[in-house]
Chains A and B, each alone.
Chain A
Amino acid sequence: MMNILIAGVGGQGTLLASRVLGKYAMLCDKDCKLSEIHGMSQRGGSVVTHVRIGDKIHSPVIWEGGADMIIAFEALEAARVKHYLKKDGILLVNDEKILPMPCITGAANYPDDVKERLVAAVEKTYFVNAQAWAVEAGSGKATNIVMMGALCRLFGFDKEVMKQAVAACVPAKFAELNLKAFELGYERV
């Protein structure tokens, strides 16, 4: 049983990341359920996608304290969902800061020490420059696939099968770019 929570900001490509993991589960002949939220919150709000892989899955939703890994596309979003992580869980964070509107308008402050606090609280915390590496691979939009590469290595997923899953989930003309992004995430995490 593997529970993976993907957290990010609407528009960051969290849905595609969950589809890749779903495809991976299918290729491995495992049961899998994903849960995502569409609509209002997708407009720049916090979004969370749940991925559960195992022999038989009931709930499509992961509960607090039940995630083996959290993949956060933004540091503040990692802090927001940290309590979903199991005690020995892995926290993989894209080292990026996106100001929420209350911080832009000055109604709230973006905590300066969010990164330090995450590192102090979770032993297995990995910060990656996924956005920069995605740009290096050819497009900032492949940030989610860089994260998939990093996840693949940290979790010890079958690399070749994961690459098949990536290729199956992205448009054919961007397959090469995304596989490069995947490799960068895998190599550098």
Chain B
Amino acid sequence: MLTNKAIARGAYEAGVAVLSAYPGTPSTEIAENFVQHEGVYAEWAPNEKVAVEVAIGAAVAGARSMACMKHVGLNVAADPLFTVAYTGINGGLVIVVADDPGMHSSQNEQDSRFYARSAHIPMLEPSDALEAKEFVKLAYEISEKFDTPVLLRETTRVAHSHGLVELCERKEVGVRPYEKSAAKYVMMPANAIKRHVVVEARDKAVAEYMNGLEINRAEYTSENEIGVVCSGVVYEYVKEALPNANVFKVGGVHPVPVPAIFAFAKKVSKLYVIEELEPFIEDTLKAAGLDCIGKELFSLQGEISVLTIKEKFGLDATVEQPTQVPARPPVMCAGCPHRGVFYVLNKLKLTVNGDIGCYTLGAVPPLAAVDTCVCMGASVGMAHGFKKATNGASKNVAVIGDSTFLHSGVTGLINAVYNQSGITLMILDNSTTGMTGHQQHPATGKNLKGEPAPVVLLDELCKACGVKDLQIVDAYDVKAVEKAVKAAIASEEVSVIIAQRPCALLDKSPKPKMTVDGCKNCGVCMKLGCPAISRTKNGIQIDTMQCTGCGVCANVCAFNALKLVKEGK
């Protein structure tokens, strides 16, 4: 079972009634699997902050609840996170956060464990699918025992690995009665000051309790051998790479079980801490006065592997050098509706403030159109900043997807209208959350279960924000896109262009295919970076297995050499 599915199963077995999440690799499958269970409620929220607020509301109302997100999503949700630590809960509350060391699908590799420490929230970290399911259940016990939210951290290699899991029955826990208590749930200064005292006392009690839990345990293998402190997937690597080492497995990464590790340290020849990303456990131990070796050996960057551990400990780790071969970076799919848009933006030599989604790939050659990409929604605010910095002279365009616009782009648009920067915003509306694997959102007309849902109309939403100059174009119609962009750039007021076309991967109907006749080999269509087009000495070739017949290449061909042929003709 996939670990994310095991987390969903653990939540189900723990009696969780409400789950709210926003898709983000590598966390997405938790919500998708949880909703498959009978008798539970789960939803896609427009962003992680809303998801956590929904989960807090459900928990305070008395139900066991969960919110799930990737590491950067926890930044978005940090506001409610820090204060729910003060209010505490009623029904159990667990927030799952998935870190991405190595940045397989992320814009940074921040370490979420620091949120646990600074927000005063206990954090558990499982090593595989089997543990993940059990840790979820333990997290709810801790949550309700100590009246605290609990964070469950996983990393990509745990989230997206499969392991054997044994299923248990669901434990119905019901909904605890809600009792009004302004002193506990209304966090204004007079109340919050008193709650902060509670938080500090709770920290100590939680630390003492978790220090003695089985999830924090010493595994002695040999006397006079080294001892390694580790957690998460690194524990599995250590067991593989250093079979003779004594191991302290940290299952509760915050609070770090310092007393238990002190006892472990006394029984080993030398103490090491092996952890991915930041020296979180190591610094805690060193601050407590325990001598150990950690980041002197291991990098802050990327993932650790069985081989790097062997190498650092002087074991045989010689392998042949990797063969030098051309890189294969990710590309937009054949038929992707974003392709023509970036072709136009590149052709018009505009500065493009990009955003998070498949369309970040507009930065990759040959399109190479995107200038900036920082975080969800940043395109709109940054475009406004570009305009203000240049007194309106900057020829820049913000490009954002439909799901990302609803996540946090709309606030940037309100700012641009209110503070009159005259930005051009392109919403690439492919009717789905593409990069994470096609999740529904408030503008798709379906909910997480795939049932019909009310539709937030993007054009009406923009108008309600005060946008007067709004155009809707077909993303495949390159000439119309170019015309719309030119008009929007020329306009002094805030302009929005909604480029519509569903994601090419969603449309499974038989497609017309492109044929080539009379190619002059000018190379213009090669600038599209379509994986279905390749060039030979005699002109271009179309890979009919990949071609979806989107017609964008025909739209840019000056010699009419590309034509669509219907299936069967």
Contact = CB atoms under 8 A, between A and B. Distances in A.
A104 B323 CA distance: 20
A104 B326 contact: no
A102 B531 CA distance: 10
B333 A33 contact: no
A46 interface: yes
A80 B240 contact: no
Interface string A34-71: 11111111111110000000000111110111100000
A140 B545 CA distance: 9
A72 B263 CA distance: 48
Interface in B422-468: 435-437
A32 interface: yes
Contact of A45 (B158, B319, B323, B331): B331
A32 B326 contact: no
Contact of A105 (B319, B320, B332, B529): B529
- For the residues of B in contact with A, the DSSP-based class is loop
A170 interface: no
A100 interface: yes
A39 B534 contact: no
Nearest to B159: A38
Interface string B527-569: 0010101110000000001000000000000000000000000
Contacts of B306: 59, 61, 63, 66
Most chain A beta carbons < 10 A, residue from B325, B358, B365, B533? B325
Interface in A94-126: 99-111, 114, 117
Interface string A7-21: 001110000000000
A148 B318 CA distance: 31
B197 to A, nearest CB: 43
Contacts of B321: 83
B329 interface: yes
Interface in B456-495: none
Contact of A36 (B160, B332, B435): B160
B542 to A, nearest CB: 12
Nearest to B28: A38
Given A60-B157, A76-B326, A39 B240 contact: no
Interface stretch (B177-185, B231-239, B390-398): B231-239
B329 A111 contact: no
A2 B233 CA distance: 20
B524 interface: no
Given A45-B330, A58-B237, A100-B327, A83 B366 contact: no
Contact of B307 (A46, A63, A80): A63
B526 A105 contact: yes
A61 B331 contact: no
Contact of B435 (A39, A59, A106): A39
A60 B545 contact: no
Interface in B283-313: 305-307
A183 interface: no
B506 to A, nearest CB: 14
Contacts of B161: 33-36, 60-61
B261 to A, nearest CB: 21
A38 B26 contact: yes
Interface string B153-173: 000111011111000000000
Nearest to B25: A39
A108 to B, nearest CB: 4
Contacts of B366: 101, 105
Interface string B23-39: 00110100000000000
B333 A40 contact: no
B240 to A, nearest CB: 5
A89 B163 CA distance: 24
Contacts of A41: 104-105, 330
B361 interface: yes
B510 interface: no
Contact of A108 (B28, B318, B326): B326
A44 B236 contact: no
A11 to B, nearest CB: 8
A43 B307 contact: no
A26 interface: yes
Contacts of A9: 328
Given A10-B330, A58-B237, A111-B325, A104 B531 contact: yes
A35 B237 CA distance: 13
A40 B526 contact: no
Interface centre among A65, A101, A105, A114 (most CB of B within 10 A): A101
Contact of A80 (B233, B323, B360, B526): B323
A102 B534 contact: no
Given A38-B26, A58-B237, A60-B128, 9 more contacts: A31-B164, A40-B330, A58-B236, A59-B237, A65-B307, A80-B322, A80-B325, A82-B323, A108-B327
Interface of B: 25-26, 28, 104-105, 128, 156-158, 160-164, 233, 236-237, 239-240, 305-307, 318-323, 325-333, 358, 360-361, 364-366, 435-437, 526, 529, 531, 533-535, 545
24 contacts: A31-B164, A32-B163, A35-B157, A35-B161, A41-B105, A42-B330, A43-B333, A43-B361, A43-B435, A44-B332, A46-B327, A58-B237, A58-B239, A59-B233, A59-B306, A60-B162, A60-B236, A65-B320, A79-B323, A83-B322, A102-B327, A102-B365, A103-B326, A107-B365
